Amino acid sequence: MIEIQNIHKSFGDNHVLRGIDAKFEAGKISLIIGGSGSGKSTLLKCMVGLHAPEQGKVLYHGEDFTRMNFEDRIPIRKEIGMLFQNSALFDSMTVEQNIIFPLDMFTEMSRSEKVDRANFCLERVNLAGRNKLYPAELSGGMKKRVGIARAISMSPKYLFVDEPNSGLDPETAILIDELIAELTAEYQCTTVVVTHDMNSVMGIGDYILFLYKGQKWWEGSNKDIAHTDVKELNNFVFASRFMKAAKERL
């Protein structure tokens, strides 16, 4: 479980996060949603330690991650898998080398064990046999799936996903969502997804945190979201005519 308490983050005069509190449960998919500039990605980066919040705490199973130095964070970081918005695969490495990289750095597995693990992860994301391709040879959806394969190579306890569906066609986007849901159930990991894709919100959102102007504006599940009367949330979720019509039918 991850708990965040009173997170504040500014960039110069721009106060991006204004005291966010939330709990993200293990084995569930938590979504952070909100409009552009609402602070979703900044919150995610504060949670994984890429940004240092000015105030507040990020607790991993009760341990205060924000107060730890680089060395103390390493054991927790080894349990973190992250999929970036643009996948962030290492250009100079093949698909297999990308997946093996964390194993090379942090385990004493033999070469064949590492290749077996890479093959298992690639099969898990339906990319078996693509080991020797370079990231430049992959489509956007394949890159995301390799990113997921790399994220699960160390069997993570915490899975962070930044905009998994951006730039993907609806069908591939749903496949990625399903994959995230399956992996969360399989590894019983705490999964936190930043998104503004409404299919994801309705499809996999066990817990949804809605940010508005850097504040926690609403929280609940995908079942609650259709019946809320919070104006800002409704404006965000049911922005399109199609979604408005769908809500009226509910």
Residues contacting residue 5 through CB under 8 Å, at least 6 positions apart: 21, 56, 57, 59
Within 10 A of 109 (CB to CB), how many other CB atoms are there? 14
Among 52, 105, 136, 250, binds other proteins (CB under 8 A): 105
Q: Closer CB to other proteins, residue 22 or residue 89?
A: 89
Q: Is 74 in the site for other proteins (CB under 8 A)?
A: yes
Q: Give burial (CB, 10 Å; 0-12/13-18/19+) of 12.
A: exposed
Q: How far apart are CA 26 and CA 44, in angstroms?
A: 16
Q: Is 70 in the site for other proteins (CB under 8 A)?
A: yes
Shortest gap between Cβ of 246 and other proteins (angstroms)?
34
With tokens 């341990």, the residue in question is 63
Q: What angle do CA 31, 141, 50 make, to 5 degrees?
A: 50
Q: Is 91 in the site for other proteins (CB under 8 A)?
A: yes
Give the neighbor-by-neighbor strand order of the sheet with 14-24. Answer: 14-24, 2-11, 55-60, 63-64
Q: Closer CB to other proteins, residue 23 or residue 78?
A: 78
Shortest gap between Cβ of 93 and other proteins (angstroms)?
10
Q: Give burial (CB, 10 Å; 0-12/13-18/19+) of 49.
A: middle
The pair of structure tokens assigned to 242 is 């199609």
Q: Closer CB to other proteins, residue 144 or residue 216?
A: 144
Residues touching other proteins, count (CB under 8 A): 24
Among 22, 33, 89, 95, binds other proteins (CB under 8 A): 89
> x/- string (CB under 8 A) for other proteins, residues 38-57?
-------x--xxx-------
Q: Closer CB to other proteins, residue 30 or residue 87?
A: 87
* Region 180-199 residues binding other proteins, contact defined as CB under 8 A: none
Q: Is 88 in the site for other proteins (CB under 8 A)?
A: yes
The pair of structure tokens assigned to 63 is 């341990």
Q: Give burial (CB, 10 Å; 0-12/13-18/19+) of 26.
A: middle
Among 10, 23, 84, 120, binds other proteins (CB under 8 A): 84
Among 6, 14, 27, 90, binds other proteins (CB under 8 A): 90
Shortest gap between Cβ of 145 and other proteins (angstroms)?
16
Q: Is 234 in the site for other proteins (CB under 8 A)?
A: no
With tokens 């919040």, the residue in question is 53
Within 10 A of 176 (CB to CB), how many other CB atoms are there? 22
Contact residues for other proteins, defined by CB under 8 A: 45, 48-50, 70, 73-74, 77-78, 80, 82, 84-86, 88-91, 101-102, 104-106, 160
